[in-house]
Amino acid sequence: MIPLPAAFLAEAGSWILVVLGVGLLVFIHEAGHFLAAKWAGVKVLAFSLGFGPEMIGFTRGPTRYRIAWVPLGGYVKMSGETELPEGGYAPDDFPAKPVWKRGVIMIAGVVMNALLGFVLFAAAYLAGVDVIPAVVGSVRHGGGAWEAGVRPGDRVVAADGHPVRSFEDLMYATMGGAPVELDLQRGGTAVRVRATPSKEEGAPAPAIGVLPPFGRILEVVPGGAGEKAGFRTGDEVVAVAGVPAGPGDLRDDEVLASAALPESGPLLLTVLREGREIVLPLEPTGTHPLVGIASHRSVIDFVRAGGPGERAGFRPGDVPEAVGGLPVGGSSSFRGAAFRAPPGSGVRVRRGEAAADLPLPDAPAERLELLRDLRFADPESPTAVEVLPPRPPSPGAEPVPGPAAAAGMRTGDRITTVAGTAVTRFRDVRERIAASEGGPVEVAWVGPSGKGKAILAPAPVPTWDFAEAGLLTVIPQERFDAGGAGNLPALGLERCIQTTRQILATVRGIFSGSVDKSNLGGPVAIAQITKRSTESGTGRFLEMLAKLSINLMFLNILPIPLLDGGQLMLLTVEAVTRRPPSEWVVAASQWVGLVLLLGLMVMVTFNDIARIVGS
């Protein structure tokens, strides 16, 4: 006998758990119909898990118990349910029972799924579930959370009065697009803010613009550039370029990335190792081609309340003109100059017809926080540019003209074409330049001095990719449990209600257009997600099954013919009119239901295929 590899056995075991877990959900749903039918005195002809040809089965009494080859659900076939026997219905036929008993039979499946979800949630939190905590790691500059004053390190404990147990809960709470009231813990202080989600271009759903702390603890790949630079597994990154930050901040904080990265040479990272802070240099892992332009945002339109920006005296409408006596032309040059200016420097802003001199804090961390407090308005012309050096220069160094400046382009000029293609927004400009893959690209512009056209050769600027350097970060997780068996009933009920609210928010968002339909997954996505949950412990697997059970409950209660909700709708019509719907109405409704379900299956299957192709 050839021994099977342990990895193969583990993989096979995970998929067996998925099949058994999903099979349990279907079994419990159909068992609800079956038990209710038995209680109502209805003859059950078949109890089937799956559709199509029978794989295995047996007969006991009048019922054929079977497992079929197509594992996409199941059914309970009751006597008289699909045809009218000659001579009329027998007393144990389904249609012969009162409307209220038939209603109990139809709703019993979703009730069983709700009860199963409750039990599985309770079991999951008895075992404990590892979750990404709802702690803010970074705040997108200018987003809804930023406007509301949410800060890195804040822990979200509730959204619109509903408990937030994980970062996933927070995402669902904000995906509807409506303003949401957040209860935060900031240190030892309770803070309440109101944030308005928005949908970024290309994003699947609205969000308030926060990301979890993606980890400061390093896992160093042997032989990589990080190990050679002196990094060790377990090091905690506490500062980037002298500013308190972690590796994730460098990627997610656009202000930090645009202001603090060095012009050349290594990036200095401060790590905490055995209680000591050590500064280690990380050499660039690659380069990125830039032509030295940015969107021309020159007017401050929002100042966060309570921060160093407000304390320094900045106001909406201010236009920064100089930092430390050196002129700046917009938000990008202002950030670089303000962050690198020597201690004691100030900012001159134009305020209407007057000018004002404002102080800059000396501490780098507070100076960076001031820059985060300021949002600049989009330019009146979407393709107006600010002309920059490739990277903000070091203090005292002469700025090196970038390709755009060397070609004669000036701040305020509007780009009209890139590579011969007309552009109408700055995003198009970036995409066309990126498509050149670092090669020369022809750019045409128009400005106060007239029209211009030049072939620009992008200048390579250094980039730092932590993964490429062999520095991986460990995503922090917390163990969430009930804290005692006495809390399980309330917690199980809370999570059932929370999951239902999340489903409703997703469905509302899809119909309103704020949530992309790609969020819906079919059998492949469900199997993949459930399988991943088996790799994260018993609690996570049980929690996933609980969520699937609530989803199955919700799907079946929808008023779509062929589903339980559609059958309940027909029974309601019969109860009101005191006569069953005509055969024509029933047949037409079933065809409508079939078309709707087939359309849904096609859409979710397409989404599954798109995910596989894109992964």
CATH label of the domain that carries residue 434: 2.30.42.10
Mean pLDDT of 487-496: 91
| Unique residue bearing structure tokens 């199509």 | 52
- Report helix, strand or coil for 486: helix
Is there a single domain that holds both residue 238 and residue 192? Answer: no
Percent of the chain with pLDDT over 90: 40
Domain assignment present for residue 601? The answer is no
* Residue 335 dihedral angles phi and psi, to the nearest 5°: -60, -50
pLDDT of residue 192 exceeding 60, the answer is yes
Instruction: Quickly state the pLDDT bin for 535 (edges 50, 70, 90).
Output: confident
Is there a single domain that holds both residue 237 and residue 182? Answer: no
Residue 122 and residue 485 in contact, taking contact as beta carbons nearer than 8 Å: no
Domain assignment present for residue 484? The answer is no
pLDDT of residue 302 exceeding 70, the answer is yes
| Total structural domains within the chain | 3
| pLDDT for 482 | 83
Cα separations in angstroms, 253 against 171, 210, 360: 19, 10, 20
Domain interval for residue 248: 218-288+466-473
- Report helix, strand or coil for 573: helix
Residue after which a domain boundary falls, among 457, 483, 498: 457
| Unique residue bearing structure tokens 């004053």 | 149
Percent of the chain with pLDDT over 70: 90
Domain assignment present for residue 102? The answer is no
Residue after which a domain boundary falls, among 443, 473, 503: 473
Residue 264 and residue 391 in contact, taking contact as beta carbons nearer than 8 Å: yes
| DSSP of 105-147 | HHHHHHHHHHHHHHHHHHHHHHH-EEE--SB--EE-TTSHHHH
Could you report the per-residue pLDDT of 576-585, keeping only the tens digit for each?
888 887 777 7
**Measured distance CA(449)–CA(331) in Å, rounded:** 23
| pLDDT for 7 | 53
Is there a single domain that holds both residue 206 and residue 224? Answer: no
Residue after which a domain boundary falls, among 165, 182, 213: 213
pLDDT of residue 502 exceeding 70, the answer is yes
* Residue 584 dihedral angles phi and psi, to the nearest 5°: -65, -45
What count of Cα atoms within 13 Å lies in the side-chain half-sphere of residue 558?
Answer: 18
Domain assignment present for residue 560? The answer is no
Domain assignment present for residue 206? The answer is yes
Is there a single domain that holds both residue 168 and residue 231? Answer: no
Q: Poorest-confidence range of 223-232, 382-391, 414-423? A: 382-391
| pLDDT for 141 | 85
The single residue of 30, 369, 386, 543 carrying the catalytic annotation is 30
Is there a single domain that holds both residue 200 and residue 240? Answer: no
Is there a single domain that holds both residue 193 and residue 225? Answer: no
| pLDDT for 137 | 85
Could you report the per-residue pLDDT of 92-130, keeping only the tens digit for each?
988 889 999 999 999 999 999 999 999 999 999 999 999
Mean pLDDT of 19-35: 88
The verdict on whether 30 is a catalytic residue reads yes
Beta partners for residue 207, in sequence order: 198
Pick the more confident residue, 240 or 86. 240
pLDDT of residue 6 exceeding 60, the answer is no
| Helical pair 538-557 and 6-40, crossing angle rounded to 10 deg | 40
Could you report the per-residue pLDDT of 245-276, keeping only the tens digit for each?
877 777 777 788 777 777 778 889 999 999 89
| pLDDT for 1 | 41
DSSP state of 401: P
Is there a single domain that holds both residue 145 and residue 178? Answer: yes
Mean pLDDT of 147-154: 89
